Structure formats: structure tokens, C-alpha cells
Amino acid sequence: MEEKMTAPKKTARIAGLFYLLMTITGAYDTAWVPSHLFVKGNAAATAEKVLANEYILRTGIVSQLLANIFFVLLVLYLYRLFKTVNESQAKLMLALVLVQIPIAVLIEVFKITPLMILKGETMKTLGPVQKQDLAMLFLDIHGYAVSILEIFWGLWLIPFGRLVYKSGFIPKIFGVLLIVGSIGYMTECLKFLLFPTYHSFVTDYIGLSYAVGELSIMLWLLIKGVKSEKPA
């Protein structure tokens, strides 16, 4: 009996580890790298920073690829953990993650292309200003693609949250927080698509809705795992 009880805890903690690794590598590429390289609305300054810090851009791309690998491993362990709770919801969670991975990998091309253009490896007949504008266009396309991808970041949290809520071996509050976080992701995506210039006091705090939910469940899985006893 003891052996059966320790297996889910081990699975949960491995999932928590992959969640942590995904968060670190993903944040490096989506937050740290842009803050050091990209100057919004200034193609010349961005081009100068990209050329001067080519290695940072390349490590960002590698970091994002690693984040997607960790994402796949995470959802596989979560599927193993929750399939006995509700197999159809676990499969839906798995599918909503796997379907977005090829998209996330493909859009990284839009970050390496600007570097090729600025270094003169392609589009050699263009002038310096044209190269800067074209490079900025590809970077903007990448940013727009990431914003659209947020819809999937929100969708997979719905079955995940429901599974956590119904599991009995993880506190229900984490399931509620995950579903609230899913609404935050999808709201952010729809706001970008429908009202790109709209900004309000509430907009500044949308990110908290999913940050709190995901960080909470990540730490619970990593530190606590699952409850040692299931409810009757």
C-alpha cells in the first residue's frame, strides 16, 4: 500500500520540477531577452543592440526550445498523475499542450531571420535602413504570434484546473486559481486581437491572475507533491 502511495507523490514532484524548468527557461526568453535587446518602435536602436548582443538572442531561442521540451515532459507527467481522476479531461489537457508546441517552435524562426538580415546573410541588396525596418517587422510578427499563442496557454489550464479540483489529493483552491488564470490568458489574447490600443488599470493586473495560479501549483507539486491520503 505504501508503495502505491509514494508513486503519485514522486510523479507530482517530477512534474513540479519540469514546471519550474519550463518557467525559468520560458521567462528568460520572453522577459529577460526582450528587455535587453528590443527597443519598442525604434528599429535602429534594436538593430544595434541585436548585432552587439547576438549571443543573447541565440541563447533566448535555445532557451525557448528547452522550455517547450520541458512543457511536453510536464504535461506527460501530469497526464500520468491525473488520468485516474478523469481520463478524458487528462487527454484533453495533453492534446491542448501538444498542439501548440509545433507553433511555438516555428515562430522562433521569426527571431533568427532578423539576425540574418542585419548581418547581411540574406537580402544583401537592401540598404541599412531597409534592413532595420525588415528586421523589426519580423520581430513584431514574432511578438504578435506569441500573443495569439496565449489562447492555448489559457485553454490547457481549464482541464488542468478541473482535474486538480476533482482529484482529492491536491487542494481544490489550486484548481480554482488555475481556471482563473486561464481566463486571464484568454482575456489578454482577446484584448490584443480586438482592442490592441486599449489599456486600463485592470490590464496591468491580468498577468497576476495566471502568475498566481501557475506558480502556486508549481510550488505545491514540487514541494508537497500530493496528499499522503486520499479522501474516502
Q: Which of 2, 3, 12, 5 is nearest to 225 (CA)?
A: 12
- pLDDT digits 0-9 by tens, 102-125: 999 999 989 899 889 988 877 777
Q: Which amino acid is at 13?
A: R
Q: What is the pTM of this model?
A: 0.88
95, 79 Cβ separation under 8 angstroms: no
Number of other CB atoms surrounding residue 189 within 10 Å: 20
191, 203 Cβ separation under 8 angstroms: yes
Q: DSSP class of residue 183?
A: H
Rounded percentage of the chain residues whose pLDDT exceeds 70: 93
- pLDDT digits 0-9 by tens, 23-54: 999 999 988 998 888 888 888 898 899 898 89
How many angstroms separate the most distant Cα atoms in the chain? 72
pLDDT of residue 7: 86
Q: DSSP class of residue 228?
A: S
- pLDDT digits 0-9 by tens, 196-224: 777 665 666 777 888 899 999 999 999 98
pLDDT of residue 6: 67
CA angle 182, 188, 193 (to 5 degrees): 125
Q: What is the mean pLDDT of residues 150-158?
A: 94
